[in-house]
Structure 1
Amino acid sequence: MPKALVLAGTHSGCGKTSVCLGLLRALARRGLRVQPFKAGPDFIDPGLHAAATATPSHNLDTWMQPEAALRVLFARRARKADVVVVEGAMGLFDGRGGADEAGSTAHLAKLLGLPALLVVDAASQARSVAALALGFSRFDPDLRLAGIILNRVGSDRHEAILREALASGLPVLGCLRRDASLTLPSRHLGLVTAADIGAGIGADSAALEHILDALADWVEQGVDIPALLAALPELDLSTFPTMEPASALASPVRIGIARDRAFCFLYEENLRLLEAAGAELAFFSPLADAELPEGLGGLYLPGGYPELSAPALAANAPLRAQVRAFCASGRPVWAECGGYMYLLESLTDGGGVAHPMCGVLPGRAVLRTKRAALGYREARTLLPGPFGPAGTAVRGHEFHYSEHEGEPEQPAYALTASDGAETLDGQAVGNILGGWLHVHLASNPQAAQAFVDAARRC
């Protein structure tokens, strides 16, 4: 039975991801099998987790994924591990809205029966940290807090004051010193991806490994890892469901999936659900490949950072022509966010330069300096298409700085936000479904089956 914890934070920016990456790498360096997870809809942190542990990280989201499916996914991966670490999202109690716990890290920890370890930004705090800890420990009596890791501690004297203030409260399981050199690089949409750090964006080719090892050294200096592991209870997975979806009996069909530095926002569970529906996944790079994989029945263009690779995408005219011809063939195409931008006529980058894209759907994607949309979305399709009949319901998340300019075709989705606001999203043309929405297929596995079946029919 593995040891397991949820690493949570008091708020976004408290250093939770740095602590998590350092802990993951430190555990992996000890020869332990470490299974990382990420709470919420984030795509970037799981890529960094995978780099730290050499193990794919999976998203766990209590709003986008049904409870049973979430628990099955968690148990499937946790059974192979010695230690399970779930990185939280935002602050411990932050979720879809302010009225309830849906989508929050606290909700996820209770659903899985895991203790939460709270990362507290102790910079510029002394005794007040005790009041903060007391509030978090009492806010939800059903949540089990294992203790606190104090981050950005300034000195020995600062640490002594903090420990004195917390002496009668939650146990302090680590004190991490402030170190500006350990800052993770960031940009719009969040941290720089593992692929871009590793490719030497602003650094040499060994940048990512250097950062991960430095974070592990930092965590090992401030956290007694053997004592932390000893304090964690073993996770009894016998209470988790083991039900798996039935394997598809029909012959497999190849689905082409864009995956490179420009298209790197994929839920690992989406890929598994497509395979369970009968898909053979064929990955390709719109940046580097001149041709699509052979024998494709369908095409999936996920999100990512096409705006940062727009010149290279535009320069690969042979692949853009192949995508355009594939879309004209009537075979199903699913494009979301960055993939949707790729199907438009052009993409205007942050410097105001327009780059030609595939020209499959009318209009232009234009990168803005301010965020265009952020939040969970309930969606229903407006026309029959790759996900099945009109009215097919899915859940997902929207987060982008780019906007569509021009006259769109028929919208793809009707979206409902957390506050009840309703909007239209994307475009649906023939068997092409494109929009800004990142869909989690666990919210409706029949959509995955419909997409694969549509590819098989073609």
Structure 2
Amino acid sequence: MPSCPALLITAPGSGHGKTTVTAALARWHRRAGRKVQVFKTGPDYLDPMVLERASGRPVYSLDLWMVGEEACARLLAAAAAEVDLILIEGVMGLYDGQPSSADLALRFNLPVLPVIQCRGMAQTFGALVYGLAHYRPGIQLLGVFANRVGSANHLDMLQQALPAGIPWLGHLCGDTAYALGERHLGLQQAGEIDDLDTRLEAAADALEGLAMTTLPPPLSFSAWSTPPLPQTLAGLTIAVARDAAFSFIYPANLELLQTLGAQLQFFSPLADEAVPASADALYLPGGYPELHAGLLNQATHSALSIRAMAAAGKPILAECGGLLYLLEHLSTADGRTHAMLGLLPGEAVMQSRLAALGMQQLDTPMGRLRGHCFHYSRISTPLQARWQASHPLRGTRGEAVYQHGSITASYMHGYWPSNPELIAAIFHGRTF
């Protein structure tokens, strides 16, 4: 049974600096010569990009529902056998969601470190810490970390308010040297922050000498053994669009395709690269086509090659941003309308407010696919949904899944290891 120091970094809610502190800690330990595996709780693409840059390793999702308890156990056990430290960034607040970061901590006996953004707060800091520690029995607070501390006097007030028995592990000031930019879906993509490594180094420097850099106690992780997956995609080459417009890709999804036997080839529509000629199928992931609609409109080589794939009946799977790219038109936030590929009838319009957010489950004749949605656009199309996802807790109507010719497209981002058989069937071009 492998063992490794592990820590879940959480907060009272979003916006407290979990990603900054997790990234700083990962970079600090990496600089010290340790192998650090970072995980992200819940569905997220943007935080993992920053955390991957900080740690130097791919960042995987841990979620008791979307990933599943057994798969979470396998991921943790595999990491514990290979690295020197496991860091897990929580989602939203410690107790938010069903399941929550607290549920994950309790299931795997993980110590918890809350990061609390303290600007405009003094003694209430102590009440927050006390509540996080005692709201649910069994939660183990390793200590507490204060973010955006304003002055020496402010720091003194916070420390005096700390409940007895809870260690103070350090603090960061509100320094813009390591701040991370945001936009409508969350953080900026790591590749768009020109000085990201400089910011990560500055954040790691700020941790020097703090108690939080001490390794937490080692934990043992055990995993259920599972039979190997069949090579249902052996002999298939799958092209994957990957650039600043199409970047919302779970590493676990690509690894699943490779485990099933597929060969992957990457190309960039933004660079007007054609789909590789050897491709038997195409994956258009989510991302930010709305920020690059003008360039995509001018990417004629990419457009012609994708249209040729559709005309040849080769399978195309598109998620969220990939769906928008397949439509006839995309209207962006500045009011401009751009022609897209025109492979699906209809258009999309960007909105200033969130259109949909939450976990999704898709029940098909080949079983259930788990995933989520998060988008600011709305589409209008004459297409009828082939399938309809639903919310796993409320049972309410979720995202539509369209099948049009060889195309399968939806706003839903699937976590493909939850149903390898279905994903293999889609890339083989089977209809249901």
User: TM-score, normalized by length of structure 2?
Assistant: 0.94
| 1:5 paired residue number | 7
Change over 3 Å in CA distance of 1:452–1:360 after alignment to 2 = closer
Cα deviation per residue 1:302-347 (whole Å; 9 max; x = unaligned)?
A: 1000111111111111211110121122222110000001111121
| 1:234 paired residue number | 218
1:72–1:243 CA contact under 8 A, matched in 2:
no
1:210 is aligned, of 193, 198, 202, to 198
| 2:382 paired residue number | 408
| 1:420 paired residue number | 395
SS of 1:67's partner is: helix
1:177 Cα deviation from its structure 2 partner:
2.1
After the TM superposition, which of the residue ranges 106-115 and 313-322 deviates more from structure 2? 106-115
1:24 counterpart letter in structure 2: A
After the TM superposition, which of the residue ranges 116-125 and 185-194 deviates more from structure 2? 116-125
> d(CA) in 2 for partners of 1:316 and 1:373?
29
After the TM superposition, which of the residue ranges 325-334 and 240-249 deviates more from structure 2? 240-249
> d(CA) in 2 for partners of 1:89 and 1:173?
21
1:305 is aligned, of 285, 288, 293, to 288
1:380 aligns with 2:355: no
Cα deviation per residue 1:13-56 (whole Å; 9 max; x = unaligned)?
A: 11111111111111111111111111110100111111112111
> d(CA) in 2 for partners of 1:138 and 1:225?
21
> d(CA) in 2 for partners of 1:172 and 1:66?
33
> d(CA) in 2 for partners of 1:94 and 1:375?
13
1:255–1:299 CA contact under 8 A, matched in 2:
yes
| 1:219 paired residue number | 207
Aligned residues: 428
1:133-152 aligned at under 5 Å gives the runs: 133-152=129-148
1:4–1:233 CA contact under 8 A, matched in 2:
yes
1:452 Cα deviation from its structure 2 partner:
4.3
| 2:88 paired residue number | 86
2:65 is aligned, of 63, 66, 70, to 63
| 1:386 paired residue number | none
1:410–1:429 CA contact under 8 A, matched in 2:
no
2:346 counterpart letter in structure 1: G
| 2:112 paired residue number | 116
1:439 aligns with 2:414: yes
Segments of structure 2 that go 5 or more residues without pairing to the other structure are: none
2:83 counterpart letter in structure 1: A
1:303–1:336 CA contact under 8 A, matched in 2:
yes
2:43 is aligned, of 41, 44, 49, to 41
1:155 Cα deviation from its structure 2 partner:
1.9
Change over 3 Å in CA distance of 1:377–1:173 after alignment to 2 = same
> d(CA) in 2 for partners of 1:85 and 1:16?
11
Q: Percent identity?
A: 40
SS of 1:283's partner is: strand
SS of 2:303's partner is: helix
Change over 3 Å in CA distance of 1:424–1:262 after alignment to 2 = closer
> d(CA) in 2 for partners of 1:274 and 1:402?
29
SS of 2:224's partner is: coil
> d(CA) in 2 for partners of 1:118 and 1:170?
11
1:438 counterpart letter in structure 2: H
1:235 Cα deviation from its structure 2 partner:
2.2
SS of 1:450's partner is: helix
After the TM superposition, which of the residue ranges 74-83 and 308-317 deviates more from structure 2? 74-83
> d(CA) in 2 for partners of 1:412 and 1:289?
31
After the TM superposition, which of the residue ranges 172-181 and 245-254 deviates more from structure 2? 245-254
1:130–1:169 CA contact under 8 A, matched in 2:
no
| 1:330 paired residue number | 313
| 1:384 paired residue number | none
| 1:385 paired residue number | none
> d(CA) in 1 for partners of 2:240 and 2:233?
21
After the TM superposition, which of the residue ranges 414-423 and 252-261 deviates more from structure 2? 414-423
